[in-house]
């Protein structure tokens, strides 16, 4: 799998509080992962996990406190000219979560697509731009006559497709999809998930699919990265991670997912948000983990390979012991 | 034993300058004491409007234009605010969708509990304190948080304090409008379990509105599926999951990717919900239905009972012409 | 070298999974060109209808005064102190001038001041407010300080000082003088709204797309603020009418020009109300009030048309009266 994007020890801190009590919010700490060509990588986690921050770091809305992002072999920090920035914007576009806020309500829905084409493919003439806009609309499943509609005339699902069309118009290599379906009705989500799979298969685009819904991640993604409190807890091929989760947090997440077909599992955890403000060294999951040992209190676990490509950041798992904290009885 | 809540033929219209839009069309259902009824549907189906109508919280331009809501024997529709105050919170309370919006951000939790208690005649300070601490403990929150402000609590704790507030007078019926939608999956699970435990202990009935069917699959007794303002299916929860009847229910169940088991490509339900100002002729679901035939486009289906099929104790009600005449099983 | 926009605020985690998929609204009744929509909006809203009617009348009078009042407003050889008659609709003043034609011809100057001050103050307010909100940092602070200084000084006394100092001999001096301090009020409002827009996804989307900052401000931000900008224009025009008439009334205007404020000035100087020429004072005053009402009504109407939540709702008073529902 050719590597497309690589994040190395990506870190992003925010200063919060006022002059009297300066504190640091560790949104993302030491995160490393790669995304290859033609693959969908799911980045899953709950609120406070740092997944949205990662998206914005990769989209270069934020700049990292430390760590590097390498795209197509080049460190993004070395981009200086407007041409470099523009090319990165076109190769790594972003699709946003809220279909009602991510399109400018004043213009027709063709506006974003045409602007993307004008900025990133200046070799096209006006007529060619219109034709290309119609083409990307068809690829995402919208009728080309919808180009003339205003956003309020479209449903949420249709607007999200417009978002993907805007991204596609730029001939991207990697689309950053920040929870693209969480605000859509359940019956509409599948349509968009199928669209994402189609973009990977027939357009050859990679997608970083950020979500809190593991079931939808399983439906489209090839690999899964589970984040907790700004760090990666577990990552690997999605079937491996889901069928044999090694990190207690992953197991907790899986057992809490509502599944009508399986009996209800006993989950004692209340779901309190993680502590990411001025965290002390040690595993950030230790307060909720029934398996926490002494090392967990003082040494922050690092990702280690437990099987091919399947990495876990957990002292107990790495010591070889069976992690059965939150496993469902039936499987 | 008479039902606790009996809704018959309820219609709610939004009266707009260009004409009335019927958001809830002829909805009937009952809720027994201690029963957990889940109302499931996607946005625009009218479930929240229905909830507000039952709780008598509708504001213009929405109004009840037909039907009755009989609670403990008395019809709530047409009562004045003063008459309703006797019922509100003592016998029926409401948990809103987003605690952050429903809780007063500038008052502490304890102060908000006190507001509710005082409004219903509890004046004694020590009684107020005792009752407030008691309901917080019921939902697993340390009473020390009576002095906390909503923004100081986590999302899960805020929702639980909303439920605590709804339980101040241990009502007979608690209506919940998507109380878990703002929560993450672990907090969601914990809250559902908590609600079920409270129900077991105190015996109140619950009407639970949600867009996520799988959420209530292990918790509700009966499930009511709504589409375009109408009830499309009403049956026991397990029955609905094991043998969904209405094409919409089937489509919904097939739209949930699963965590385990084989990975199959899913289709979802193509198309969009209809504009209630101009609903489709005949069956409202027919433009999106994979089993549509000619009569579906012109004849409006009623809610047909299927209890003659032999399902014990459950009435299975389905609004589908082809199910009723047996051409679809 | 364009540095990427670097945000310094942590992202807010949105609530998980509340679906807001809405049924698509078919195009009926919503499309049609802008004029058709404006006409529909005016017809459906009472305030818009009345306000527009007032404005249309005044604009017509300002454009074609000669068609309405045949007398020369400055001619002073009519019989003085005459009451209302068919020859002189408002009578004449003690100088023998026809009051009706004074009012009619004065409309042009009043409207000119109102419109030009409205446009100028709104333009400055938009520039200062939106630039401050979007550029942030030092720019925002500097512009904010200038705005605040002008806000703190009481407006009318400041106007008196400026106009008196400038020895207003032409209407342009009056326009500039009123514009100088007045933009600060609406600049604050526009800045607030631009700030709330700053974190909207579609602006972030434009930024990620690679748009330049100036483009985003002019093309993406400002068009979404049109209703506030129009409201700003109407408010500023209204206050321009009131302030210019007041300044002229106390004698700081050009006393040889024809304007409602000037007419009021002369009326006041000649104790019109006490000497049996009440219309001399009442007519221009009533016109100022009427024009002001027109602007104000349009302002309310615009608010209501733009924000459906503000529209008056037919209320069914519930306490004490049964609601209309009965069992089917």
pLDDT in tens, C110-126: 999 999 999 999 999 99
Write out pLDDT tens, residues B217-247: 999 999 999 999 999 999 999 989 988 999 9
Tell me, what's the pLDDT at C142?
A: 92
Rg (CA), chain B: 21
| Mutation to test the C interface, candidates A90, A101, A117, A213, most C Cβ within 10 Å | A101
Range from A15-19, A200-204, A216-220, A227-231 carrying the lowest mean pLDDT:
A15-19
Residue C14 or B326, more confident: B326
Cis peptide bond upstream of B61, omega within 30 = yes
Q: What is the pLDDT of residues A176-197, one digit of tens each?
A: 999 999 888 888 899 999 999 9
Q: Give me the mean pLDDT over the C91-109 stretch.
A: 83
**CB contact (8 A) between residue B43 and residue C326:** no
Global ipTM: 0.84
Of the partner residues C19, C320, C327, the one whose CB lies closest to the CB of residue B80: C320
B173 strand-pairing partners? B92, B205
User: Given the DSSP bridges, would you call strands B74-75 and B62-71 parallel, antiparallel or unpaired?
Assistant: antiparallel
Residue A13 confidence (pLDDT)? 93
Model confidence band, residue C32 (pLDDT cutoffs 50, 70, 90) = low
- Encoded tokens for A107: 């213009």
C-alpha span between C158 and C246 (Å, rounded) = 13
The answer to whether A314 and A308 have CB atoms below 8 angstroms apart is no
Given pLDDT bands bounded at 50, 70 and 90, which one contains residue B307?
A: low
pLDDT top residue among B180 and A65: A65
Question: Which of the 8 DSSP states describes residue B244?
Answer: -
**Strand (E) or helix (H) holding B13:** strand B5-16
Q: Do B275 and C24 touch (CB under 8 A)?
A: yes
pLDDT in tens, A75-130: 988 888 888 999 999 999 999 998 888 899 889 999 999 999 999 999 999 999 99
Residue among C292, C303, C304 nearest C111 (CA): C292
DSSP B60: T
Angle at C313 between CA C309 and CA C314, to 5 degrees: 170
Crossing angle of helices C171-198/C99-135, nearest 10°?
40
Segment B65-75 mean pLDDT: 87
Over residues B47-56, the mean pLDDT reads: 90
Burial of C313 (0-12, 13-18, 19+ CB in 10 A): exposed
What's the confidence (pLDDT) of residue C168? 64
Tokens of A136: 């990307």
CA A268 – CA B186 distance, rounded (Å): 10
Residues C176-219: tens digit of each pLDDT: 989 988 999 899 989 988 888 877 888 889 989 989 888 888 88
Residues of C whose CB is below 8 A from B17 = 44
A143/C22 Cα distance (integer angstroms): 19
| Cross-chain Cβ contact A106/C223 below 8 Å | yes
Q: Do A267 and B193 touch (CB under 8 A)?
A: yes
**CB contact at 8 A, B162 and B179:** yes
**Which residues of chain C make contact with A89, given a CB cutoff of 8 A?**
208-210
Which residues of C sit within 8 Å Cβ distance of A? Answer: 1-2, 4-11, 13-14, 16-27, 30, 200-202, 204-211, 220, 223-224, 226
pLDDT for C315 beyond 80: no
Window 20-49 of C, Cβ < 8 Å to B: 20-26, 29, 44
- In this complex, is the C-beta atom of A85 within 8 Å of any C-beta atom belonging to chain C? yes
Contacting residues for C90 by C-beta, under 8 A, at least 6 apart: C84, C98, C99, C100, C103, C279, C283
* B256–A271 C-beta distance less than 8 A: no
Q: Find how far residue B108's CA is from the centre of its chain.
A: 28
Residue B288: closest C-alpha in chain A: A187
Give the pLDDT band of residue C309 (cuts 50, 70, 90): low
Distance separating alpha carbons of residues B144 and B138, to the nearest angstrom = 14
- Rounded mean pLDDT, B171-184: 88
Q: Which residues of B touch C43 (CB under 8 A)?
A: none
Closest-CA residue of chain C to B65: C325
User: In degrees to the nearest 10, what's the CA dihedral of B177, B178, B179, B181?
Assistant: -160
pLDDT tens per residue across span A241-276: 999 999 999 999 998 888 888 888 777 777 777 888
Q: Tell me if the pTM is above 0.95.
A: no
Question: What is the number of CB-based contacts under 8 A between chain A and chain C?
Answer: 125
Question: What's the rounded mean pLDDT across residues A22-44?
Answer: 93
Task: Name the band, by pLDDT with cuts 50, 70 and 90, for residue B314.
Answer: low
Q: What is the dihedral of CA A90, A93, A98, A101, to 10 degrees?
A: -30
pLDDT tier for residue C20 given thresholds of 50, 70 and 90: very low
A62, A253, A274: best mutation site toward chain C, by most C Cβ within 10 Å? A62
pLDDT at A145 over 70: yes
Confidence category of residue B188, pLDDT binned at 50, 70, 90: confident
The confidence score (pLDDT) of residue A31 equals 95
Is 70 exceeded by the pLDDT of residue C319?
no
Q: Alpha helices of C16-136 — where are they, by DSSP H?
A: 34-44, 46-63, 65-68, 99-135
Length of chain B: 329
Sign of CA dihedral B308, B314, B319, B323: negative
Position C70 pLDDT exceeds 80: no
- Is the pLDDT reported for residue C25 higher than 60? no
Q: B42–C327: do the CB atoms touch at under 8 Å?
A: no
């Amino acid at each position: 799998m050719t590597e497309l994007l690589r994040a190395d020890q990506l870190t992003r801190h925010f200063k919060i509080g006022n002059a009297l009590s300066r504190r640091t919010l560790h949104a993302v700490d030491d995160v490393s992962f790669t995304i290859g060509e033609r693959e969908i990588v799911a980045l899953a986690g709950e609120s406070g996990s740092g997944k949205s921050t990662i998206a914005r770091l990769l989209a270069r809305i934020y700049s990292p406190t430390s760590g590097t992002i390498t795209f197509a072999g080049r460190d993004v920090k070395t981009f200086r000219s407007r041409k470099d920035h523009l090319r990165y914007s076109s190769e790594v576009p972003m699709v946003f979560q809220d279909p009602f806020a991510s399109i400018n309500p004043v213009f027709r829905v063709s506006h974003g697509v045409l602007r993307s084409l004008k900025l990133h493919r200046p070799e096209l003439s006006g007529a060619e731009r219109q034709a290309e806009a119609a083409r990307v609309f068809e690829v995402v499943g919208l009728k080309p006559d919808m180009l003339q509609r205003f956003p309020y005339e479209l449903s949420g699902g249709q607007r999200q497709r417009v978002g993907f069309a805007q991204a596609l118009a730029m001939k991207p290599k990697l689309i950053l999809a920040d929870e693209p379906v969480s605000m859509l009705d359940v019956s509409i989500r599948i349509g968009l998930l199928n669209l994402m799979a189609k973009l990977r298969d027939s357009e050859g685009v990679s997608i970083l699919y950020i979500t809190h819904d593991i079931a939808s991640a399983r439906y489209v993604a090839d690999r899964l990265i589970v984040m907790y409190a700004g760090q990666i807890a577990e990552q690997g091929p999605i079937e491996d991670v889901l069928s044999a989760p090694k990190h207690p947090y992953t197991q907790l997440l899986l057992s809490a997912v509502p599944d009508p077909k399986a009996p209800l599992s006993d989950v004692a955890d209340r779901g309190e948000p993680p502590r990411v403000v001025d965290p002390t060294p040690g595993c950030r999951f230790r307060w909720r983990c029934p398996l926490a040992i002494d090392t967990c209190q003082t040494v922050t676990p690092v990702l280690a390979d437990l099987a091919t490509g399947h990495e876990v950041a957990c002292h107990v798992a790495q010591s070889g012991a069976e992690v059965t904290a939150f496993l469902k009885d039936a499987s | 034993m008479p039902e606790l809540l009996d809704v018959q033929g309820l219609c709610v219209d939004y009266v707009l300058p260009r004409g009335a839009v019927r958001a809830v069309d002829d909805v009937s259902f009952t809720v027994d004491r201690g029963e957990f009824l889940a109302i499931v549907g996607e946005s625009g189906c009218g479930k929240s409007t229905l909830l507000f109508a039952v709780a008598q919280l509708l504001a213009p331009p929405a109004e009840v234009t037909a039907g009755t809501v009989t609670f403990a024997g008395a019809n709530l529709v047409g009562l004045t605010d003063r008459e309703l105050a006797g019922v509100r919170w003592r016998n029926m309370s409401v948990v809103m969708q987003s605690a952050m919006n429903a809780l007063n951000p500038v008052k502490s939790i304890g102060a908000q509990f006190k507001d509710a208690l005082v409004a219903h005649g509890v004046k004694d300070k020590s009684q107020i304190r005792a009752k407030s601490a008691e309901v917080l403990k019921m939902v697993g929150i340390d009473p020390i948080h009576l002095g906390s402000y909503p923004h100081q609590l986590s999302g899960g704790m805020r929702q639980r304090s909303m439920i605590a507030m709804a339980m101040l007078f241990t009502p007979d019926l608690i209506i919940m409008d998507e109380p878990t939608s703002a929560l993450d999956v672990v907090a969601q699970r914990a809250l559902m379990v908590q609600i079920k435990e409270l129900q077991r202990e105190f015996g109140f009935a619950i009407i639970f509105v949600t867009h996520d069917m799988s959420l209530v699959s292990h918790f509700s007794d009966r499930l009511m599926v709504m589409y375009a303002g109408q009830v499309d299916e009403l049956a026991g929860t397990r029955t609905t999951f094991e043998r969904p009847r209405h094409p919409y229910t089937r489509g919904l169940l097939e739209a949930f990717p699963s965590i385990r088991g084989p990975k199959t490509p899913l289709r979802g339900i193509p198309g969009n919900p209809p504009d209630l100002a101009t609903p489709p002729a005949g069956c409202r679901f027919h433009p999106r239905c994979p089993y549509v035939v000619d009569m579906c486009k012109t004849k409006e289906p009623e809610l047909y009972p299927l209890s003659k099929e032999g399902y014990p104790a459950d009435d299975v009600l389905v609004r589908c012409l082809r199910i009723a005449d047996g051409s679809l099983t | 070298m364009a540095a990427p926009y670097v945000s310094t605020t942590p992202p807010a985690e949105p609530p998980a999974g509340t679906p807001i998929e809405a049924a698509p609204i078919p195009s009926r009744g919503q499309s049609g060109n802008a004029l058709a929509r404006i006409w529909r909006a005016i017809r459906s809203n009472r305030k818009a209808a009345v306000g527009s009617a007032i404005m249309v009348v005044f604009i017509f009078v300002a454009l074609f005064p000669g068609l309405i009042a045949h007398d020369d407003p400055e001619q002073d050889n009519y019989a003085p102190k005459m009451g209302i008659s068919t020859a002189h609709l408002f009578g004449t003043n003690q100088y023998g001038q026809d009051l009706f034609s004074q009012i009619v011809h004065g409309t042009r100057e009043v409207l000119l001041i109102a419109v030009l001050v409205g446009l100028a103050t709104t333009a400055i307010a938009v520039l200062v407010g939106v630039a401050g909100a979007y550029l942030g940092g030092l720019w925002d602070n500097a512009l904010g300080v200038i705005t605040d200084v002008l806000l703190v000084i009481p407006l009318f006394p400041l106007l008196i000082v400026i106009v008196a100092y400038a020895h207003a001999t032409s209407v342009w001096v009056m326009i500039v003088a009123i514009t100088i301090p007045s933009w600060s009020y609406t600049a604050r409002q526009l800045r607030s709204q631009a700030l709330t827009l700053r974190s909207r996804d579609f602006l972030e989307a434009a930024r990620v797309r690679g748009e330049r900052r100036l483009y985003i401000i002019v093309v993406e931000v400002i068009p979404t603020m049109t209703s506030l900008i129009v409201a700003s224009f109407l408010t500023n025009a209204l206050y321009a009418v009131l302030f210019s008439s007041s300044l002229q009334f106390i004698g700081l205007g050009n006393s040889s020009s024809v304007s409602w404020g000037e007419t009021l000035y002369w009326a006041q100087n000649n104790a019109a109300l006490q000497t049996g020429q009440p219309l001399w004072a009442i007519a221009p005053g009533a016109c100022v009030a009427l024009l002001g009402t027109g602007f104000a009504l349009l302002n309310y109407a615009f608010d209501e048309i733009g924000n459906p939540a503000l529209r008056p709702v037919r209320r069914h008073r519930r306490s004490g009266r049964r609601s209309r529902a009965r069992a089917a």
